[in-house]
Chain A
Amino acid sequence: MPVRLQILDDQITAYLSGEIDHHTAAPMREEIDETAQRVQPKLLILDFSGVTFMDSSGIGLVMGRYRLMQELGGELQIARIPRPLRRVMQVAGLSKLTNLDDGGDSHENQ
């Protein structure tokens, strides 16, 4: 499973895993959106700790979910970005939305 969803009250955490490219982003997006539309969470967390590769399709995934959460009146957080993904996040300026240094690889940061 490329994405595992955990629902806790009005919060959804999407644990993404494997490689995110144009091919794999579509099923991830569909699964997250379907659940988010149903649950209407206040907070959606995209957890990247299980992601081994990401190109700009991952940025599209984040931007699309950011818009969705705005529509739903909630917030989006991105968490636990593995080191190799940070350069792509930085090109996109997403380092402004999240603290990449704290996005680290340990669960304790959450």
Chain B
Amino acid sequence: MKTSNRMKLQFDSRSANESFARMAVSAFIAPLDPTVDELSDIKTAVSEAVTNCIVHGYRDEINTVTITADIYPDNRVVIRVRDKGCGIPDIKAAMEPLFTTCTTGERAGLGFAVMQSLMDKVKVSSKEGKGTTVTMERKITSRGEANG
């Protein structure tokens, strides 16, 4: 299906940009008139994916995070969050709830679980030493439909 709108965003993998990234995606999909819950779910999922790039993909070194978002005529939003970092050796293990490589005890290991529960579809592709792409999809029910 042809997209009805598309955006691409690149920014430094600085933690201060986590907020910028989710705000930017949220502003881009605002014309679809998402419900408060839909907007909150998408912002949260984007925040998780971008944090993964910063903390895991680049291990706190500064590099580039790329987000593309496509809006389709049937109100589906497809968001891709990509890093060119270290990659994930075992995607299945990484997606298990509570799996974390963080040793400080401050990361819950719930990033993928949160993305999967808040979005309709989540796909992860990764190559060690090359990077990781998370593709997430969510259909927006416009507020009019939700109320009717």
Answer yes or no: B105 CB below 8 A from chain A CBs.
Answer: yes
* Residues from chain A with Cβ under 8 Å of B44 in the complex: 53-55, 87-88
Report the interface size for chain A: residues with CB under 8 A from the other chain.
23
Could you tell me if B18 and A88 are in contact, using CB atoms closer than 8 angstroms? no
Per DSSP, chain B at the interface is helix
Q: B108 near A87 (CB under 8 angstroms)?
A: no
Assess whether B105 is in contact with A63, with CB atoms less than 8 Å apart.
yes
Interface size class of B (residues with CB under 8 A): 20 to 34
With contact pairs A19-B19, A22-B54 given, residues A64 and B117 touching in the complex (Cβ less than 8 Å): no
Q: Are B107 and A60 in contact (CB under 8 A)?
A: yes
Would you give the shortest CB distance from B95 to chain A, in whole angstroms?
Answer: 13
How near does chain A come to B115, taking the closest CB pair, in angstroms? 9
- Chain A nearest CB from B53 CB (Å) reads 11
Task: Evaluate contact between B110 and A92: CB separation under 8 angstroms.
Answer: yes
Residues of B with C-beta under 8 A to A59: 108, 110
Q: Which residue of B lies closest to A58 (CB)?
A: B108
What are 20 A-B contacts with C-beta separation under 8 Å? A21-B51, A22-B18, A22-B54, A22-B55, A23-B19, A24-B19, A25-B106, A53-B40, A53-B43, A55-B47, A55-B111, A56-B113, A63-B108, A64-B105, A84-B36, A87-B37, A87-B40, A88-B114, A91-B117, A92-B110
Q: Which residues of B contact A (CB under 8 A)?
A: 15-16, 18-19, 22, 36-37, 40-41, 43-44, 47-48, 51, 54-55, 105-108, 110-111, 113-114, 117-118
